[in-house]
């Protein structure tokens, strides 16, 4: 491998000749050989957006320092970073400095070296130009917020909305199906299958509302606070201009954080947003479990619904098919709930003027967003969309349910209805047979008042 020599304030470093990063990135690469979990690409791409935005803001406020020539080179390189074209030039792992300083310098070095290629000369310095008016302490939390907003709005929310539309279609298709309800895993009064599906729909719609509530605080950017929140070395108005530029580049309404001291040390906005992600995960666990219970069988389980058969389920039992999409989605839910612990603990480590657990926090946050989006998309396409009701089994189970006796309460009273249900269960006879045998109603009167479909 060929190398070139790069320099930083600590001296010279050999860097692979075909890579744009510089000495500080190389030092981090050598000093933190931990785990192999690379900094999320969403953060890399967010750095491309914020570095371009910072250059635009600097040019608007101090064009003498951020010249048109420098702006053009930084913007061209930043666009490649934001689009993912230069992902291979961002090798650093999550387990580095807790402020994300080395990832910020990775972006500065890559953009400077690539920008110099565009300029055809040594035009840009990573600190003086690409990092102008900035500190790692305000750029990394800004990248976190940009990545979080883009991930939630552009990746997760559309999947949630499509999932909701599938459930609405299933509701309409099953509006005429009445089945036995269940509480405590025991038979309960009847319910329309469409009503059960409506409950599932609420499990997605409510966390979607929560995520929308969590977005406004995430739109507040720390950029402009520099090292400790005072804005040292940033010109007046830079924070407002850079937030405006980020908004222009993303098409989303970002603003500057009014309290920069909080923006650098507090991470409660991300904790709040991840709480909504955890709520979604908890609800998806319930929904997926409902589906696999209702699909259990095909002969010895509930068997009230049929789900797509996607692959063989056993290496030894021929013909066995398993609810694999349910299992995948519930595993996603477990991981997201575990991630929430890491997010909360990392946010609690905001000592004095800076939180230094930011890489692990955003790693887990974005992992949750990605897993939920992918998991829901897969479940929708490969399971939910093909779900159908086993109407015959639902009807049979409905009429076998002893809890239909609840319809008799107004006519024979709670205590007599309980006696009817217990006798029917003990002797294996119908509710009608038990009620008539106990002398509570005549056969004709029973038929006149007993209509299970109307109970839903």
Q: Is residue 135 annotated as part of the catalytic site, yes or no? A: no
Q: Distances from the Cα of 6 to the Cαs of 3, 9, 13, 71, 135, in angstroms?
A: 10, 11, 5, 23, 21
Residue of 406, 410, 399 lying closest to 421 (CA atoms):
406
Instruction: Indicate the burial class of 266 (C-beta count within 10 angstroms; 0-12, 13-18, 19 or more).
Output: middle
Catalytic residue among 125, 180, 314, 385: 314
- 136 contact partners, CB below 8 Å, separation of at least 6: 99, 100, 101, 104, 105
Q: What are phi and psi of 114, to 5 degrees?
A: -70, -40
Number of other CB atoms surrounding residue 220 within 10 Å: 20
- How far is Cα 153 from Cα 273, in angstroms, rounded to an integer? 12
> Can you name the residues that pair with 306 across neighbouring β-strands?
388
Q: Residues 128, 54: contact at Cβ < 8 Å?
A: no
DSSP for 363-413, please give it. Answer: HHHHHHHHHHHHHHHHHHHHTGGG-EE-HHHHHHHHHH-GGGGGGGHHHH-
Number of other CB atoms surrounding residue 157 within 10 Å: 16
Q: Tell whether omega for the bond before 298 is within 30 degrees of 0, i.e. cis.
A: yes
Question: With b meaning 16 or more CB within 10 Å and e meaning fewer, what string describes 1-10?
Answer: eeeeebebee
- 415 contact partners, CB below 8 Å, separation of at least 6: none
Residue of 190, 191, 189, 197 lying closest to 172 (CA atoms):
197
Catalytic residue among 9, 135, 184, 315: 184
Q: Residues 343, 365: contact at Cβ < 8 Å?
A: yes
User: Residue 332: enclosing H or E segment and its boundaries?
Assistant: helix 324-347
Q: Which two tokens stand for residue 351?
A: 């000592």
- 324 contact partners, CB below 8 Å, separation of at least 6: 310, 311, 313
Q: Is residue 45 annotated as part of the catalytic site, yes or no? A: no
Catalytic residue IDs? 184, 314
């Amino acid at each position: 491998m060929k190398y070139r020599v790069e320099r930083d304030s600590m001296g010279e470093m050999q860097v692979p000749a075909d890579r744009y990063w510089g000495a500080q990135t190389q030092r981090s690469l050598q000093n933190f050989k931990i785990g192999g979990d690379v900094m999320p690409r969403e953060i890399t791409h967010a750095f491309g957006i914020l570095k371009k935005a910072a250059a635009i803001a600097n040019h608007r406020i101090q064009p003498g320092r951020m010249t048109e020539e420098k702006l053009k080179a930084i913007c061209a390189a930043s666009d490649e970073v934001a689009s993912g074209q230069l992902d291979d030039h961002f090798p650093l792992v999550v387990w580095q400095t807790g402020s994300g300083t080395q990832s910020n310098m990775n972006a500065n070095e890559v953009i400077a070296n690539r920008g110099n290629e565009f300029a055809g000369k040594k035009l840009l310095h990573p600190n003086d130009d690409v990092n102008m008016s900035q500190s790692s302490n305000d750029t990394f939390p800004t990248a976190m917020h940009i990545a979080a907003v883009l991930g939630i709005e552009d990746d997760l929310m559309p999947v949630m909305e499509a999932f909701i539309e599938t459930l609405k279609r299933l509701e309409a298709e099953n509006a005429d199906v009445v089945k036995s309800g269940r509480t405590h895993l025991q038979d309960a009064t009847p319910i329309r299958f469409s009503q059960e599906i409506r409950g599932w729909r609420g499990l997605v719609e409510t966390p979607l509302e929560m995520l929308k509530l969590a977005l406004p605080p995430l739109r507040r950017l720390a950029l402009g606070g520099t090292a400790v929140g005072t804005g040292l070395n940033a010109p007046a108005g830079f924070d407002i201009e850079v937030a405006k530029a980020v908004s222009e580049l993303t098409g989303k309404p970002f603003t500057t954080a009014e309290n920069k001291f909080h923006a650098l040390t507090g991470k409660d906005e991300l904790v709040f947003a991840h709480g909504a992600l955890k709520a979604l995960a908890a609800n998806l666990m319930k929904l997926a479990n409902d589906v696999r219970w209702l699909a259990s069988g095909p002969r010895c389980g509930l068997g009230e619904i049929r789900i797509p058969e996607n692959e063989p389920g056993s290496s030894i039992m021929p013909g066995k098919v398993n609810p694999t999409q349910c299992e995948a989605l519930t595993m996603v839910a477990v991981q997201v709930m575990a991630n929430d612990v890491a997010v909360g603990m990392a946010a609690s480590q905001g000592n004095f003027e800076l939180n230094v657990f930011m890489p692990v926090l955003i790693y887990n946050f974005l992992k949750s967003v990605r897993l939920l989006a992918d998991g829901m998309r897969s479940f929708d396409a490969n399971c939910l969309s093909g779900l159908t009701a086993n109407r015959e089994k639902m009807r049979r189970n409905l009429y076998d349910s002893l809890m239909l006796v609840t319809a008799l309460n107004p006519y024979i009273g709670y205590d007599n209805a309980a006696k009817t249900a217990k006798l029917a269960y003990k002797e294996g006879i119908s509710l009608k047979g038990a009620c008539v045998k106990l002398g509570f109603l005549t056969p004709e009167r029973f038929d006149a008042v007993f209509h299970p479909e109307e109970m839903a």
